[in-house]
A and B are shown apart, each in its own frame.
Chain A
């Protein structure tokens, strides 16, 4: 769709509007996202070390209970309303780790609880997370396909 041509008055208004518009603190947001996201990862790493040190897990298998605990904590915090407050400050720092995925499912389920368990919670649970699953699966399929072709060709 072609962009609508603005009249001189509209252009003047746009300039005036943008001069009053509050600038987004991009750098500050990046720093918050970096440190809070990093802190979530640090908690994950601590849990990982805790599991393989104190229980019968190896470094490889300790990843499963670690992810389970992080998902549980994120879901609990979403239910109690803490996670959204942190997400408002950290943005992508809370959305990128597995806790963000858990939050997207839990918050959608809570939001649609009033519509009933089956059509409300069950039907809308993956409203946000569905796209992540679909594109993740499709991307994994194509990457695996490329890897297989390269391995057959002897490149890898």
Chain B
């Protein structure tokens, strides 16, 4: 009987593993100051997305009037990824109605944007390369 109770408790502990670390929000990686070329819209959009309850962290870059954003969503909200993407898109579209906006929750795109942001911050990404990167990430987010 005791062994059974211990086993049940062990299983319940495993199942109920709490994810408190998830509630820690990351701060948006601001690019405008470092990049020196038009990233103010993407910086503002990051703040807007980060204000959402479901989002843990966000990455994104822009080239002229094209913007690509990727976000990490809380585990419990990953069941409604489509709604979260739509909500984020609507919020940014309200801020920048003339922009072409791509919102993704794909971890691969998040990783690619992370690399692109680091390159922008280090100043290793020219305008042309930035445009090319945006195109590649857009292609990934469609596929």
Question: How many angstroms between the C-alpha atoms of A103 and B10 in the bound complex?
Answer: 30
Question: How many angstroms between the C-alpha atoms of A59 and B109 in the bound complex?
Answer: 8
User: Residue B64 at the A interface, CB < 8 A?
Assistant: no
Closest Cβ of chain A to B9, distance in Å, is: 12
Interface residue count on the B side (C-beta < 8 Å)? 13
Q: Which residues of A contact B141 (CB under 8 A)?
A: 58
Q: Which residues of B contact A31 (CB under 8 A)?
A: 7, 10-11
Instruction: Assess whether A59 is in contact with B107, with CB atoms less than 8 Å apart.
Output: yes
User: Residue A2 at the B interface, CB < 8 A?
Assistant: no
Q: Which residues of B contact A60 (CB under 8 A)?
A: 106, 143
User: Residue B4 at the A interface, CB < 8 A?
Assistant: yes
CB contact list, A23-75 vs B, under 8 A? 27-28, 30-31, 34, 49, 52-53, 57-62
Closest Cβ of chain A to B140, distance in Å, is: 5
Instruction: Assess whether A61 is in contact with B111, with CB atoms less than 8 Å apart.
Output: no
Q: Count the A-B residue pairs with Cβ separation under 8 angstroms: how many?
A: 29
Question: How many angstroms between the C-alpha atoms of A93 and B10 in the bound complex?
Answer: 18
Instruction: Assess whether B106 is in contact with A59, with CB atoms less than 8 Å apart.
Output: yes
Question: How many angstroms between the C-alpha atoms of A52 and B11 in the bound complex?
Answer: 31
Closest Cβ of chain A to B2, distance in Å, is: 13
A28, A58, A61 interface centre (most CB from chain B within 10 Å): A58
Question: How many angstroms between the C-alpha atoms of A57 and B11 in the bound complex?
Answer: 35
Question: How many angstroms between the C-alpha atoms of A62 and B108 in the bound complex?
Answer: 10
User: Residue B34 at the A interface, CB < 8 A?
Assistant: no
CB contact list, B87-143 vs A, under 8 A? 106-109, 111, 140-141, 143
A-B contact pairs, 19 of them (CB 8 A): A27-B8, A28-B7, A30-B11, A31-B7, A31-B10, A52-B108, A53-B108, A53-B111, A57-B108, A58-B106, A58-B108, A58-B109, A58-B140, A59-B106, A59-B107, A59-B109, A60-B106, A60-B143, A61-B143
B residues with a Cβ closer than 8 A to A are: 4, 7-8, 10-11, 106-109, 111, 140-141, 143
